[in-house]
């Protein structure tokens, strides 16, 4: 997979979205290597740090991560390339890699947990510093309204950090600047904030031996719906890979 990165990667919305999701996955791969007793796998650690360093290169002075588009022609939900395509379907909220925006639906929401997991997996303080800055940025841009209290505590789709304002693009049909995906955006960010409040990582909360983040009875009831009975033999309470 990394042999084709980044020029030949297929991407949806942003390359930065794919980087954030993969960073989380690679952090857990490194943790799994350690849990198996083999110590650090240099190849896996190298993959993590390659993706991580590229993600860190998009840090802004405000703590958010500026969106990065990938190779043209290899995308789904691409930036429109003509007037007729503008607003004709799903698209990123940025048109180019210099747009001063962050997307809390598809990118920065995943990155908070990903950076924290990378920090826990490697002990690399750069990931921890970036996670701290991103958490502060997300706290500063969280919605709060006395007139519309039902939006308080959420994060609208995107934020323009140069104008310091919520942001939307008509290129993405149906997504105005005040649109909120409460079950997608907000839950990922809230999970990242929760791990910080508990001073732990998601791996240590759910997977590491002795973890107690998932009630065993709840695990037994819910897991088969997602993974089938064969994939749920480890029970709850951690210890399974």
Q: Is 231 exposed, middle or buried (0-12, 13-18, 19+ CB in 10 A)?
A: exposed
CB neighbourhood size of 19 (10 A): 27
* pTM of the entire predicted model: 0.89
The per-residue pLDDT for range 161-207, each reduced to its tens digit, is 999 999 999 899 888 888 898 888 889 999 999 999 999 999 999 88
140 has pLDDT over 80? yes
3-state secondary structure of 172: strand
Please, which pLDDT band fits residue 217 given cuts at 50, 70 and 90?
confident
The answer to whether 131 and 116 are in contact (CB under 8 A) is: yes
User: What single-letter DSSP state applies at residue 182?
Assistant: I
**Residue 110 near residue 190, CB atoms below 8 Å:** no
Does residue 125 surpass a pLDDT of 80?
yes
Rounded Cα distance, 120 and 206, in Å: 14
Q: What CA–CA distance (Å, rounded) separates 114 from 28?
A: 10
Q: For residue 36, give Cα distances in angstroms to 32, 208, 234, 235, 240.
A: 6, 11, 16, 19, 11
**What local confidence, expressed as pLDDT, does residue 231 receive?**
57
Note the pLDDT tens digit of each residue in 41-81: 999 999 999 999 999 999 999 999 999 999 999 999 999 99
């Amino acid at each position: 997979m990394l042999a084709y990165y980044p020029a030949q990667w297929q991407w949806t919305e942003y390359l930065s979205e794919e980087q954030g999701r993969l960073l989380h996955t690679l952090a857990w791969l490194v943790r799994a290597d350690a849990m198996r007793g083999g110590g650090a796998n240099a190849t896996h650690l190298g993959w993590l740090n390659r993706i991580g360093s590229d993600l860190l290169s998009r840090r802004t002075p405000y703590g958010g991560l500026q969106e990065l588009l990938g190779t043209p022609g290899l995308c789904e939900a691409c930036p429109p390339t003509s007037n007729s395509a503008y607003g004709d379907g799903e698209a990123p909220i940025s048109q180019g890699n210099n747009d001063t925006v962050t997307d809390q639906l598809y990118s920065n929401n995943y990155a908070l947990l990903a950076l924290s997991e990378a920090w826990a997996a490697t002990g690399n303080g750069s990931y921890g510093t970036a996670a701290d800055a991103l958490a502060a940025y997300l706290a500063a841009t969280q919605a709060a309204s006395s007139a519309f209290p039902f939006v308080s505590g959420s994060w609208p789709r995107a934020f323009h950090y140069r104008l310091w304002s919520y942001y939307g693009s008509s290129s993405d049909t149906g997504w105005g600047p005040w649109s909120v995906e409460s079950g997608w955006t907000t839950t990922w960010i809230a999970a990242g904030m929760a791990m910080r409040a508990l001073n732990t990582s998601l791996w240590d909360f759910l997977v590491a031996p002795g973890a107690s983040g998932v009630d065993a009875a709840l695990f037994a009831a819910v897991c088969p719906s997602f993974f089938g009975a064969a994939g749920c033999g480890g029970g709850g309470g951690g210890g399974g890979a």
